[in-house]
Structure 1
Amino acid sequence: MEADFYGSVLRQPPENLAAEQSLLGTILFDNRALATVDDIVGPEQFASALNGHTFGLFRKIIYSGNTADPITLRSMLDGHILLGRMSLGDYMQALLGSVIGVPAAPSHARAIRDTWVRRCLFKICTETLDRCARPGEDGASEIVDALETGLLDIARGTVEAAPTHSLEDAMRSARQAALDACQRGTGLAGITWGYRALDRMTGGLMPSAMYLLGARPAMGKTALGFGIATRAAAAGHSVLFWSGEMTAAQLGARAGAAWAGLSTQSVFTGRRYDIPEDVETGEREALSGWQWRDLEAGERAAATLPLQIDTQSRITVARLRSRARRMKRSRAGLDLIVVDYAGLMSSGSDYADQKPYERITKISGQLKQLATELEIPILVLAQLSRETERREDKRPMMSDLRDSGALEQDADAILLLHREHYYLKKQADAGVTRKDKESYEDYTNRASELVQRVNQAEGRADVLIPKNRQGPEGTCHLHFTNRTTWFRDTSEDVNGPAWCRPE
């Protein structure tokens, strides 16, 4: 009880009622003051509910083309419950008695906003203290996640509106960016994807943009996302790769398999899968010396890559932001974040996490904000709905992202990965059923045609781009090696280096 008493007496939420009255009085005296503060402060940031309501009324009256004065205000505020026992006359007299000059209005608006931020911090810190004082109800990690998410939400709301730009300035900036890209000699406005087909279609991964890579399970979205991260790092860009479903060792095994040209099974088991197992014992031969040396060479090649892997489970955007900001401030910097995948992240709210759509929508907005804040691209992987499986044509469409919250709307570009070979092989393995009244010749021809289609589709991968705010829509073709789970450009030698610095 004693602690509660002192906490309530000595630690009250901060407020600045004098600044609120002065600002409202100035707007009431000279309506032009509203335009100087409207992008700084909002009704919800006033400590007094009455003052916040009055500010909202000023907006409504003035922006409808009318004049906000005691007469127009009376019809909207007289007898309002927020006045309590105060008369409207006394309230307006108090406002008009606090008038300051219009030039000073922005500084008072910033003071109100600053006090609001401190009130938000007070609330979050108080809630955190309360949760810490209730042992056993919340784990430490949950408390930290809630605190970081709250701080991220505050940070998103504390940045004042960006200044406007003239069309001339915007065009000059665009021309300078194009000149810089031309002088770099790569033809890219952003950083490389590591795949020329994607670079040609998009012009690279643009700063502050959020990209969405969607696919059904087993299409290889992790393989492509990790390939993009690795190859972008090989081009000299600092990359942070977050995985919610694979360990660092599993990702390292994939990279080792791709570099050494081994199957991922060989890297996991240390046994050879490129030759048959022993007929008598049924065991597989251990990797040869040269294969172990190839794996070690891959490690040495990886040592030069500015690529960091984070595998914290159920990570929040707030926690990802903390790590990303530390990397951004480091000597290596940070040029790209790859998230694998959005559905495995936490919103930081137990309530929102119980509702997938709301959770992904919140996460999507926070990731887009993070890309803008750090001025780097973010590639977000997402799982498509089962609608693809129900269609005869298995090629994915944007509508398959319907259950992915606001990702479809927030993304600057959407990439959909498709490998027809997966579905054709599945169909062939299930066997071709002879139709009623179908001749044996037609049946065998149909079965033979399916086998031929399976063989022709092997290794082919399509990346469909149905949305691209900064370039054309279309389809990119890549080559996928199932044995090593690695993507390459179609023009690449399948036995060449898994990654290297682009020419």
Structure 2
Amino acid sequence: MADEVNTLVQQAPQDIQAEQATLGSVLISTDPADTLAEINAIVEPDDFFQTRHRLIYRAMLTLDENLRPIDVLTLIEQLNIMNQLENAGGEAYLAELAVAVPIARNAPVYADIVKQKALRRRLIDLLANGTEESYTDMKSVEDLISELSSGLDAIETGANDADFERIGDVVTDAFDRIELNAKADGTVVGLASGYPALDNMTTGFGGGQVIIIAARPGLGKTAFALNILKNVAVENPTLPVAYFSLEMSAVDLVDRMLAAEGNVHSKHIRTGQLTDEEWTSLTVAMSSLGNTKIYMDASSNIRVSEIRSKLRRLVKREGKLGLVIIDYLQLIEGTGNESRQQQVSAISRAIKNMAMELDVPIIALSQLSRGVESRDDKRPRMSDLRESGSIEQDADIVAFLYRDDYYQRDNDNTESLQDPRHEEADVGDMEVILEKNRRGERGTAHVLFVKSYNKFSSVDYTHDDSNPFG
């Protein structure tokens, strides 16, 4: 008796009657092609448990692709062409399928049962393989977790394939969104960055968007991203925001934010040599940031699947998520043996999928290639994105950072080996060049960069010649 129970417990999830009813519904339908199209939106051949049912379904799909009618006779012919008639159960079994259907119009219901059983089998296989590999030392724990996470993502994607949306429903949703936006002050209907010149062009960051901010090393992209994070968090203290840094510690990041929030010299924070006034400002900054919901992760080796898992746990704990920043894209670990460009392309697409799934804007920082250094005009272009792959295709916004003083050279001493950036002015103009903007205009926003504070501020520009940033 115990053996019989164990056998039942170990039996793979399946519903043979549902498989038969799914296939039989096509054979007795008044419009077999239409019924097959309904089923094909739900199941694929490998979803069927029995080999003969997979063969029959593939034969049906082949007939449909060749615009041939689907019935018992044409199925027999097609399976003969495939040399699979006997493996599919023979002519007698095909005839039986036609009478194995309770109600043909319930074909999508039968197909969904088949799909659910298939997903359960895949889940069992995935967890069994993970369990087996966990007993060996062939792979690291991090790799095992990443593979399991990716496998679970694939199963979940298969369980939630989107179908058509009727335009009437979409129009209603669009009207509700427009009505809500109409109640907002000004033109910023998404998450404001804290820089009006930029927000007026983007209308704010929206859920599902991927925003690429790219610049050459040392130009200030991390500082700019941290300022956006700080602005959002301080303005919305109950809104959780997350920052993933793959090259700096959480302490270093916090030091930078404290300097920016408190207008305290960053070197003084590092050395602890603060004036009385700076100590007061630092205390106020600590209180301001301490009341926010900023979450930081400084894992140096991380994959997109791990980022997604951590964010999903954060959403489950907090109930919502306002903004995610990843610093920076090229440091995320890839999987497989593909070229680095192919890996970055896969990473970029995974980040876009993650943004849409979590309905959160994701800012991903990116490096630029050295090609920009060889041009007279140092302003970046799309082609300068390092290991770009499909970054520009996946991104909703691509912004480049540019500072004249970063490339300033002393024309009177061209042979000097000293980097002139070491002596650059403490305050300078930063151009935020929107090269791509799906929801708004392209153009350039100007912000003021105070380097000693790691702080960016908005500046009102005029066309007065006396304005050094005009």
TM-score (norm 1): 0.80
In the TM superposition, residue 28 of structure 1 has moved relative to its aligned partner by: 2.5
Closer, same or farther: CA 482–24 of 1 in aligned 2, 3 Å: same
Q: 1:414 touches 1:466 (CA, 8 Å); kept in 2?
A: yes
The 10-residue stretch of structure 1 (336-345 or 137-146) with the greater mean CA deviation from structure 2? 137-146
Cα separation, 1, equivalents of 2:53 and 2:134: 34
Cα separation, 2, equivalents of 1:62 and 1:472: 46
Structure 2: unaligned runs, 5 residues or longer? 462-470
Q: How does 1:141-290 map to 2 (within 5 A)?
A: 141-166=142-167, 168-236=168-236, 237-270=239-272, 286-290=273-277
Task: Give the aligned residue type for 1:390.
Answer: S
Q: What is the aligned-residue RMSD (CA, Å)?
A: 3.0
Q: 1:214 touches 1:417 (CA, 8 Å); kept in 2?
A: yes
1:307 aligns with one of 294, 309, 313: 294
Residue by residue over 1:347-387, the C-alpha shift from the partner in whole angstroms, topping out at 9 and shown as x without a partner, is 4x3x25x6322322332222222222222222222222232
Task: Give the aligned residue type for 2:357.
Answer: E
Task: Give the aligned residue type for 1:77.
Answer: L
Cα separation, 2, equivalents of 1:188 and 1:67: 55
Residue by residue over 1:188-238, the C-alpha shift from the partner in whole angstroms, topping out at 9 and shown as x without a partner, is 221112221221001111122222222221222211212111111122132
Cα separation, 1, equivalents of 2:457 and 2:195: 7
1:488 aligns with one of 457, 465, 469: 457
Task: Give the aligned residue type for 1:149.
Answer: S
Cα separation, 2, equivalents of 1:473 and 1:99: 58
Cα separation, 2, equivalents of 1:64 and 1:35: 14
Secondary structure at 1:78 match in 2: helix
Identity, % of aligned positions = 28
In the TM superposition, residue 176 of structure 1 has moved relative to its aligned partner by: 2.6
Q: Is 1:375 aligned with 2:359?
A: yes
Residue by residue over 1:264-321, the C-alpha shift from the partner in whole angstroms, topping out at 9 and shown as x without a partner, is 2221122xxxxxxxxxxxxxxx322322222122101112222111222322333322
In the TM superposition, residue 88 of structure 1 has moved relative to its aligned partner by: 4.2
TM-score (norm 2): 0.85
Closer, same or farther: CA 50–81 of 1 in aligned 2, 3 Å: farther
Q: How does 1:96-107 map to 2 (within 5 A)?
A: 96-107=98-109
Cα separation, 2, equivalents of 1:332 and 1:468: 29
Secondary structure at 1:483 match in 2: helix
Task: Give the aligned residue type for 1:333.
Answer: K
Q: Is 1:317 aligned with 2:304?
A: yes
Q: How does 1:117-136 map to 2 (within 5 A)?
A: 117-134=119-136, 136=137
Match of 2:385 in 1: 401
Q: 1:420 touches 1:457 (CA, 8 Å); kept in 2?
A: no
Closer, same or farther: CA 8–395 of 1 in aligned 2, 3 Å: farther
Secondary structure at 1:241 match in 2: strand
In the TM superposition, residue 68 of structure 1 has moved relative to its aligned partner by: 1.6
In the TM superposition, residue 133 of structure 1 has moved relative to its aligned partner by: 0.9
Q: Is 1:333 aligned with 2:302?
A: no
Q: 1:213 touches 1:380 (CA, 8 Å); kept in 2?
A: yes
Cα separation, 2, equivalents of 1:231 and 1:48: 58
Cα separation, 1, equivalents of 2:254 and 2:405: 26
Task: Give the aligned residue type for 2:437.
Answer: N
Residue by residue over 1:56-80, the C-alpha shift from the partner in whole angstroms, topping out at 9 and shown as x without a partner, is 4434533664422234334432153
Q: 1:149 touches 1:317 (CA, 8 Å); kept in 2?
A: no
1:344 aligns with one of 331, 349, 371: 331
Match of 1:282 in 2: none
Task: Give the aligned residue type for 1:190.
Answer: G
Q: How does 1:72-83 map to 2 (within 5 A)?
A: 72-78=74-80, 80=82, 82-83=84-85
Secondary structure at 2:162 match in 1: coil
Cα separation, 1, equivalents of 2:253 and 2:411: 29
Closer, same or farther: CA 53–324 of 1 in aligned 2, 3 Å: same
In the TM superposition, residue 322 of structure 1 has moved relative to its aligned partner by: 2.8
| Aligned residue pair count | 447
Structure 1: unaligned runs, 5 residues or longer? 1-5, 271-285, 435-450, 493-503
Q: 1:21 touches 1:94 (CA, 8 Å); kept in 2?
A: no
Residue by residue over 1:105-151, the C-alpha shift from the partner in whole angstroms, topping out at 9 and shown as x without a partner, is 112111111122112211211111111111x3333333222222221
Task: Give the aligned residue type for 2:159.
Answer: T
1:422 aligns with one of 406, 413, 416: 406
